[in-house]
Amino acid sequence: MTTPSFCLADMNLPDGNSLDLIDELTNSASITGEWILLTAYGSIPDSVRALQLGAQDFIEKPADDARLDMAVQRAARSAKAQRRLTFASASQAAKYSVEHFIGRSERARETRHMLAQIAQAEFSALVLRGETGTGKGLAARILHYNGPRADGPLVEVNCAALPEELLESELFGHEAGAFTGAKSRREGLFEQADGGTLFLDEIGEMALGLQAKILRAVEDRTVRRVGGNREIAIDVNIITATNRDLEAEVADGRFRSDLYHRLSILQIVLPSLAHRIEDIEDLVNTFVADFAERRNQRIDKIPQEVWNQLNDYGWPGNVRELRNVIERCVLLSRGNALETKWLQLSDAGSARTTTDGDSVCFPLNGTVKLDEIEKRMIEEALRREHGNVTKAAGLLGISRQTMRYRIEKHQIDTATF
């Protein structure tokens, strides 16, 4: 049955009244469109209740033709906009379903399960952790569009992309004249995300002074625009992402401990591609099909040499790097086969670490630099000790302090182990 855009109804019906009908349809979750109510005996309580139930207009009879025509046009526009919003929301939910975190590995399955479980919870704050390119942005969209706030806005900002002063204005907004160039009032991202989700990417790069203001906004659920003198209430879920070890940042005084504990009510650690190599086949097939369709190409053959190189590569840039490599190959390949010559994999990840018992082996052909060897040694020690920094340091014969320094230097997230 097609749902009407709007309904023009008399207040009094043969077996009741329209207000009770609207209430009943609302409680049964039926889609009713917009309502315009006509009555010969208007009263303030009835009009108030009508508006509370979501009626578009409440008009006394005899209705003026011009006013009625205006109400009908307004209701039609409102219904059209609401349908467009509902369709967009459903489209985004389909685009960012949990299954879009692709992979058959145990780590991928665990991540999907966790995303599906947490998405249904009305969490107030959450931290996504993982190396650059592991899919933190995708995870944030999955959480939003599969959760109870899917119909609300998702507002994203990269905290590392803006200087502190500009980032503050972006997040909290400003009043006219608050600073040079502020010619008019502007709502900040917190206000724009009201009723939805604010995604703060690279939160570990945020300056300490701004962290204090973020903490207040999260704690009090209010913000104050730059140059403003009143508090504005907000209802926002906060998702943050970082590739830094925030515990180490807190210990070194570069991240506020109170903000860290407030944001990390829930944490999801996204695995690096090197820790789920068996997912490469699924990812590649998905990317090839996607890019080929966009360019109206037909790519139905991937030579074994391509698979060999993809599986032997270390993927320091994770899924993002793999996606970019496949896009280049699809763009430049001629015919229906993916051409090996367009892989052009960088030297930084051209050889993966191999292990044999207590040994870790690297090729001595110049493909792996000393810094990369050090990083992989530390990662292997952490993997064997399940992320325990002290035990991993002992395994390598160095102090815990030195281990912490090396972890920070190479931006290794110990939680992934």
SS3 177: coil
Backbone CA torsion sign across 118, 120, 123, 127: positive
Same domain, 147 and 236: yes
**Predicted local distance difference test score (pLDDT) of residue 37:** 77
Instruction: Show which of 94, 120, 137 is a domain's final residue.
Output: 94
Instruction: Identify the band that residue 355 occupies on the pLDDT scale cut at 50, 70 and 90.
Output: low
Please state the separation of Cα 256 from the chain's center in Å: 23
Phi and psi dihedrals of 359, rounded to 5? -105, 150
Question: What CATH number has the domain bearing residue 43?
Answer: 3.40.50.2300
Instruction: Identify the band that residue 339 occupies on the pLDDT scale cut at 50, 70 and 90.
Output: very high
Question: Whole-angstrom Cα distance, residue 64 to residue 268?
Answer: 59
**Predicted local distance difference test score (pLDDT) of residue 85:** 56
CA angle, corner 91, sides to 193 and 299, nearest 5?
Answer: 125
Same domain, 378 and 332: no
pTM confidence score: 0.69
Is residue 2 scored above 70 in pLDDT? no
Instruction: Identify the band that residue 193 occupies on the pLDDT scale cut at 50, 70 and 90.
Output: very high
Phi and psi dihedrals of 402, rounded to 5? -65, -40
Question: What CATH number has the domain bearing residue 388?
Answer: 1.10.10
Q: Among residues 237, 243, 244, 245, which one has the least CA distance to residue 266? A: 237
198-207 pLDDT, tens digit per residue, is: 999 999 999 9
* Domain range for 278: 273-345
* Share of residues in the chain with pLDDT > 90 (%): 44
When pLDDT is averaged across residues 145-172 and rounded to a whole number, the result is 92
111-140 pLDDT, tens digit per residue, is: 999 999 999 988 999 999 998 999 999 999
Same domain, 121 and 134: yes
Query: Is 140 domain-assigned?
Result: yes
Q: Determine contact, residues 318/133, Cβ cutoff 8 Å.
A: yes
Question: Whole-angstrom Cα distance, residue 103 to residue 129?
Answer: 18
Instruction: Show which of 246, 269, 292 is a domain's final residue.
Output: 269
Query: Is 1 domain-assigned?
Result: no
Please state the domain count of the chain: 4
Same domain, 285 and 238: no
Instruction: Show which of 61, 94, 127 is a domain's final residue.
Output: 94
Query: Is 104 domain-assigned?
Result: yes
Same domain, 244 and 305: no
Query: Is 306 domain-assigned?
Result: yes
Same domain, 260 and 335: no
Same domain, 312 and 265: no
**Predicted local distance difference test score (pLDDT) of residue 54:** 65
Query: Is 302 domain-assigned?
Result: yes
Query: Is 326 domain-assigned?
Result: yes
Same domain, 181 and 258: yes
Same domain, 172 and 265: yes
22-34 pLDDT, tens digit per residue, is: 777 766 555 556 7
Phi and psi dihedrals of 35, rounded to 5? -120, 135
Same domain, 111 and 211: yes
Peptide bond into 62 cis (omega under 30): yes
Question: What CATH number has the domain bearing residue 295?
Answer: 1.10.8.60
Same domain, 286 and 366: no
**Predicted local distance difference test score (pLDDT) of residue 107:** 92
Query: Is 338 domain-assigned?
Result: yes
Question: Whole-angstrom Cα distance, residue 184 to residue 340?
Answer: 55
Structure tokens at 222: 């209010």
Same domain, 174 and 233: yes
Question: What CATH number has the domain bearing residue 141?
Answer: 3.40.50.300
pLDDT mean across residues, the chain: 84
Cβ-based neighbours of 220, under 8 Å, separated by 6 or more: 231
